[in-house]
Amino acid sequence: MSYILLVEDNQSNADMVIRILSSAGYTIKHTLRGLQGAQMARAERPGLILMDFDLPDIDGRNMVLLLKKQLGGQNAPPIVAVTARTGEAEMRIARSFGCSAFIGKPFLPEDLLSVVRKLMPVTSDGSARSGSRTE
């Protein structure tokens, strides 16, 4: 079964995302650090990655580039920027670094679910599967 990798250094934010997505039928694995997230993604490829940009050990934008390269470029799982860095310029940067979507913090639960469902729909048997990418 495919899972969502959440790379988020704020435990309260992570708990909220996990609660929202778990209640919608998704399996989530969480790490507080970017480099640990890259290691997890290489070891057991996720169906989707939710990436904070402000991480303590590596800039999340650079993490996106690293993951794209390590996980197969165009064939890499979709990566969604979930960040407090909002604004049109930051959205353009996220896209240019390879993000499939952008969610600014704070966000509404339904906005998170909408983006995740597009990129990783839950099947009729309740399991998540990798979806289409919007690159």
Domain assignment of residue 25, given as a range: 4-119
DSSP classification of residue 120 = S
Whole-model pTM: value is 0.88
In a domain, 126, yes or no: no
Q: How far apart are CA 54 and CA 133, in angstroms?
A: 23
pLDDT digits 0-9 by tens, 3-45:
999 999 999 999 999 999 999 999 999 999 999 999 999 999 9
In a domain, 48, yes or no: yes
pLDDT digits 0-9 by tens, 68-116:
999 988 889 999 999 998 889 989 999 999 999 999 999 999 999 999 9
In a domain, 73, yes or no: yes
Report yes or no: 98 and 65 within 8 Å, Cβ to Cβ. yes
In a domain, 124, yes or no: no
Report yes or no: 34 and 79 within 8 Å, Cβ to Cβ. no
What CATH number has the domain bearing residue 88?
Answer: 3.40.50.2300
Domain count, the chain: 1
Helical spans, DSSP H, in 24-100: 34-43, 60-70, 88-96
In a domain, 127, yes or no: no
